[in-house]
Amino acid sequence: MPSISKKGKLMPESPIRKLVPYADIAQKKGIKIYHLNIGQPDIKTPKVALDAVKNNTIEVLSYSHSAGFESYRNKLALYYQKINPSIHSSNIIVTTGGSEALLFAMGSVADPNDEIIIPEPFYANYNGFAISSGVKVVPVISSIETNFALPAISEFEKLITPRTKAILICNPGNPTGYMYSKEEIEQLCTLVLKHDVFLIADEVYREFAYDGLQHHSVLAVSGMDNHAIVIDSVSKRYSMCGARIGCIVSKNKEVMATALKFAQARLSPPTFAQIASEAALETPDSYFEEVIEEYKERRDLLISELQNIPNVKVANPGGAFYCIAELPVKNADDFARWLLEDFQTNNETVMIAPAAGFYSTPNVGLNQVRIAYVLKKEDLSRSVAILKIALEQYKN
């Protein structure tokens, strides 16, 4: 029998999706599952985006430009000019989700066996993208004790080698919700300039900032034109996960010319999804004000109620819509599976994402879970109540 590739064997399962078969079985038994495991917002997609697709009169669903619609990129440039007035449509390539933008970025800046330093825990698919690109992830562990703040710059610097091509951050963070301060972003920028490497910033949760915190984009830092690469997406901003539209943004002409070759190889991003995404840029600011207020209320409720469960430690996120909780269990993978296979209360259970899959360092985060607060408040409250009951039963 032919063998599969080493790369295929190394490709990690998604810690978010690997429990789906257990959830499917539980649902077939009639058990209601509260999904705390996946960042699928329940917020309605802006009507203007959906109407743009519904009312379209396209007769031939043709390819678009490999970089995406020019009209969309021009409007995106206006959006990014609020951050950096010199951003132009030529600094933007539309991608099939932020995922493809990350693949293009890694493929453009790193060769097989090159290294990218990433503060962990980090978005689990960074591991998968790195393996796909043959790139080695070099982790810097942040701690729940410090609310997952940026580790000391000295910790980054001692990991930089001739193989280091980039530092990759997610700001605000998935899975931690941590929002990097202006000082932390500037420290990273100083470091990458000193060592002449790239700073790749995944900023897909840019709008989701709480408690008066402000998002600081790497695009706004002077002197970073040739070193900054931004990954973005409409998935969370406009609650359009299924559109699969993202983009890569950089002032580095060589990076963009290289990324365009990857874009040409996959031909073009999806047409109808670009139509929806372009229209979504017309969404009024009031949409975000309401959405952010709703998420803040959900966060406050979730954190407060989690803190009331004995021996549960939780980091307080300043952005995005995730938090990391440390549970009084030895192995969150086993606990998460048990919740779906063997537990129910009043025919209900919860689905959580074990956090070990958000680390690349072995045996770290084994008792942690990521919780997405994308459910309405009453469902979040019920979910935490179920989790409390489950932890008591699991302990026994």
Name the β-bridge partners of 167: 117, 199
Please count the structural domains in the chain.
Answer: 2
| Residues 53-87: tens digit of each pLDDT | 999 999 999 999 999 999 999 999 999 999 999 99
Domain that holds residue 21: 6-44+286-395
Q: 112 and 252 share a domain?
A: yes
Tell me what pLDDT residue 18 has.
Answer: 80
Closest CA to 49 of 333, 242, 207: 242
> Could you say which of 252, 280, 308 is where a domain stops?
280
Separation CA 350–CA 306 (nearest Å): 14
Sign, CA dihedral 35-127-321-280, equals negative
CATH number at residue 371: 3.90.1150.10
Residue 50 lies in a domain: no
Residue 379 lies in a domain: yes
Q: 391 and 345 share a domain?
A: yes
- The mean-pLDDT minimum among 36-40, 153-157, 225-229, 311-315 falls in 36-40
| Residues 290-324: tens digit of each pLDDT | 999 999 999 999 999 999 999 999 999 999 999 99
| Residues 141-176: tens digit of each pLDDT | 999 999 999 999 999 999 999 999 999 999 999 999
3-class SS of residue 351: strand
Q: 218 and 320 share a domain?
A: no
Q: How many other CB atoms are found less than 10 A from the CB of residue 104? A: 30
Residue 55 lies in a domain: no
CATH number at residue 71: 3.40.640.10
42 in Cβ contact with 376 (< 8 Å) = yes
> Could you say which of 237, 252, 280 is where a domain stops?
280
> Could you say which of 225, 248, 280 is where a domain stops?
280
| Residues 324-362: tens digit of each pLDDT | 999 999 999 999 999 999 999 999 999 999 999 999 999
Residue 324 lies in a domain: yes
Separation CA 295–CA 170 (nearest Å): 19
Q: 243 and 359 share a domain?
A: no
229 in Cβ contact with 105 (< 8 Å) = yes
Residue 37 lies in a domain: yes
